[in-house]
Amino acid sequence: MERITIRLPKQQIDMVGLMVDAGEFPSKSEAIRAAVRGLVDDRSDKLLNKIEKISALA
């Protein structure tokens, strides 16, 4: 795994901390990984289709 550094508003960090405290995730890192997985799952097909269309025009 690679490490990245991000900056988030305190309110968002606090909410992630509450999710961890409530047992929804084992750590803040795992909560953020789950959020990124969701983003990638939601948008990857659309992005790949867009790239395909651009490549076809070139």
Burial 25-41 (b: 16+ CB within 10 A, else e): beeeeebbeeeeeeeee
Q: Specify the pLDDT at position 3.
A: 95
Q: 3-state SS string over the chain?
A: CCCCCCCCCHHHHHHHHHHHHCCCCCCHHHHHHHHHHHHHHHHHHHHHHHHHHHHHHC
Q: How far apart are CA 20 and CA 50, in angstroms?
A: 36
Q: Specify the pLDDT at position 35.
A: 97
Cβ atoms < 10 Å from Cβ of 16? 20
Q: Specify the pLDDT at position 2.
A: 94
Q: Mind listing the pLDDT tens digit of every residue in the chain (58 residues)?
A: 999 999 999 999 999 999 999 999 999 999 999 999 999 999 988 888 888 878 887 7
Q: For the whole model, what pTM was predicted?
A: 0.77
